[in-house]
A and B are shown apart, each in its own frame.
Chain A
Amino acid sequence: MSTPQQIANEAASIADRAAMLAEQARQMAEVVAPVAAAAEPFLYLLTIFLMACFVGYYVVWSVTPALHSPLMGVTNAISSVIVVGAILATGLSDSVAAKVFGFLAVTLAAVNIFGGFMVTRRMLAMFKKKGG
């Protein structure tokens, strides 16, 4: 049987070791944290990108070949969602150069957005059923 004194000593040494390990863990975390913080958003975006590639793959294979031209029209219009970046550049920046580039990008993307959706609408309106 161990005496209360022995138990107390053992407990003390275990507590010491735990404290040491905690300190080591903290040090390691300090080293890793900046890397993880930098990598995490990128990995997060990459995950979403790859998922979207898969969604695109399956959705596009289900498009009927007869509508491949409208598909190009729609994808063309939605790829101009780059306008979001252009708007941020135009609206949020103090640099004149960035504002000008942003404005030019907004204008070009707008041609595409309106042109792409409109021409697709025109195409789709022509597809009619027999007797329709």
Chain B
Amino acid sequence: MATTLSTLAYLVASVLFILALRGLSHPETSRQGNLFGMIGMAIAIVATLLKPGMGFGGIALVIVGLAIGGTIGTIVAQRIQMTALPQLVAAFHSLVGMAAVFVAAAALYSPQSFGIGVPGNIKGASLLEMSLGLAIGAITFSGSVIAFLKLAGRMSGAPIIFKGQHMLNAGLGALLLVLIIAFVATGSPFLFWLIAILAFALGFLLIIPIGGADMPVVVSMLNSYSGWAAAGIGFTIGNLLLIVTGALVGASGAILSYIMCKGMNRSIINVLLGGFGSDGGAAAAGPGAADRAPVKAGSPEDAAYIMKNAQKIIVVPGYGMAVAQAQQVVREMADLLKKEGAEISYAIHPVAGRMPGHMNVLLAEANVPYDEVHELEEINAEFADADVAYVIGANDVTNPAAKTDKSSAIYGMPILDVERAKTVFFVKRGMASGYAGVENELFFRPNTMMLFGDAKKVTQEIVQALQK
């Protein structure tokens, strides 16, 4: 295929990718959007395979690679549990990062394939773009591997902090810049691999101090990095499609990180420096704890009785619901309550779960219609005339201290006003504080009833009581 034709094909693919993202503005158009994305990718791959100079052997090799990777990807995507989605996405990001490293390496050893020079004599600008793509790709890879291990629970979610950590990272970052400058000047393969190793180490060190519940920000940020890495490679090989797509993905990840940070009222710097949620929470209980009214604990039967007589019920799910796999039984409870004449809706905090939109997917999986599920701004005013707020697996995002207590670690964070409901049920395993290590004063309010136990088991018992 002539160059003009392949450029045209890449342009069409870019437009299809933009439409794929545009489709996600509404669930109805989203499926079509995803289809556009697939078509765009197919056009890009075919147009590249038809480029002049592609030998039969090369095409065969590419098809073998596509078949192996495609089979693995398809099997993984079919089998993955929706609760394991965050770690799957992290794992996928690591692959994009590694692929960027490999393409950069290929461009170094065979620059003539991309028209950027000959081995040992590559244009300086191309070397700069190559090393940027390489460094961002390598950081994306190792950072995503750590995020994956933390999300999958194969590594403790607790932040790993040591003395001089930030100095070390800053030093390594400066060294990385020096190496990149030296590489641009010399084009030495040795320096190329040194940059790769250093960037791998940096990605690893940047993510270990960040706690488990900050992973939504980390996953979004790595999403953004994978886009910038693709754009960097796009500049290296002078490919429009890679540049456009890289920019789209980079912007998307950056916006998601911003939304997540805003949902916690923390700056991105504060999240990235890490260490949040490291103190056990015992110290944060505060002096007032002893004077407080005792906590009121109830049984699932009590909860069933109260909810049976309620008109308006708002369910507030959090990460604990995902851990207990309770989404299905929550929907069963909602169905029974609807039969009793109650109106059910769900309130989702922007940072609920371990990735942006995690709760929405889990509820959708449990067949909860998406028009019953609302974002914080849409539903917050409705707690005031709700009879029941059913908080399951969420904690910090409901803590009124965020509005009143200036000394609190979560002060200023937007919260769901569950305390305004007539009765608040808190499904929780114990009295432990949430991720932020702050005690939730809501537990001690007269209109709060604690339902101690596993989220799924407690909800199941409520369902049984409702069926009686």
Spell out A's residues near B (CB within 8 Å): 38, 41-42, 45, 48-50, 52-53, 55-57, 59-95, 97-99, 101-132
What B residues does A90 contact at CB under 8 A?
Answer: 58, 61-62, 65, 106
Contact B21 A59 (CB under 8 A): yes
The listed residue (B58, B88, B229, B248) touching A55 by CB distance below 8 A is B248
Least CB distance from B18 to A in Å reads 6
**Contact between A118 and B74, CB atoms less than 8 A apart:** yes
Known: A72-B356, A110-B66, A125-B31. A86 touches B106 (CB 8 A): yes
Q: Which residues of B contact A85 (CB under 8 A)?
A: 103, 106-107, 114, 233-234, 236-237, 239, 242
* Known A56-B247, A101-B109, A108-B69; contact A74-B21, beta-carbon cutoff 8 A: yes
Given A111-B72, A115-B76, A121-B34, does the pair A93, B113 have CB atoms closer than 8 Å? Answer: yes
16 contacts between A and B (CB under 8 A): A69-B85, A69-B358, A72-B356, A77-B41, A79-B246, A79-B249, A82-B96, A82-B229, A87-B49, A99-B58, A109-B99, A111-B69, A112-B96, A114-B71, A127-B360, A128-B370
- Asked if B281 is at the interface of the complex by the 8 Å CB criterion, the answer is no
A64-B27, A79-B226, A90-B106 known; 20 new pairs, CB 8 Å cut-off, are A49-B231, A56-B252, A65-B348, A66-B375, A74-B20, A74-B37, A75-B223, A78-B37, A79-B249, A81-B17, A82-B230, A85-B103, A86-B65, A87-B49, A91-B53, A91-B59, A92-B54, A93-B113, A105-B98, A128-B369
Closest Cβ–Cβ distance, residue A37 to chain B (whole Å): 12
- Residue B80 CB within 8 A of the other chain: yes
Partner of A82, one of B38, B99, B113, B371: B99
A66-B27, A98-B109, A98-B113 as given contacts; A119 in contact with B21, CB under 8 Å: no
The answer to whether A91 touches B54, judged by C-beta atoms less than 8 angstroms apart, is yes
Seen from chain B, the residues whose Cβ lies within 8 Å of a Cβ on chain A are: 10, 13-14, 17-18, 20-22, 24-27, 30-31, 33-34, 37-38, 40-41, 44-45, 48-49, 51, 53-55, 58-59, 61-62, 64-74, 76-78, 80, 82, 85, 88-89, 92-93, 95-96, 98-100, 102-103, 105-107, 109-110, 112-114, 119, 125, 219-220, 223, 226-227, 229-231, 233-253, 255-256, 259, 348, 350, 355-358, 360-361, 364-365, 367, 369-373, 375
Question: A76 touching B370 by the CB < 8 A rule?
Answer: no
Q: Which residues of chain A come closer than 8 Å to B18, judged between CB atoms?
A: 55, 59
* Minimum CB distance partner of B89 in chain A: A72
Cα of A108 to Cα of B365 in the assembled complex, Å: 28
Closest 6 CB pairs of A and B: A110-B69, A56-B251, A91-B58, A68-B357, A115-B73, A93-B110
- Given contacts A66-B375, A76-B89, A81-B41, are A114 and B74 in contact (CB under 8 A)? yes
Q: Which of A55, A77, A78 gathers most chain B CB within 10 Å?
A: A78
Complex CA gap A95/B234 in Å reads 21
Q: Measured between alpha carbons, how far is A64 from B245 in the docked complex, in Å?
A: 20
For B106, B243, B361, the residue with the greatest tally of chain A CB atoms inside 10 Å of its CB is B106
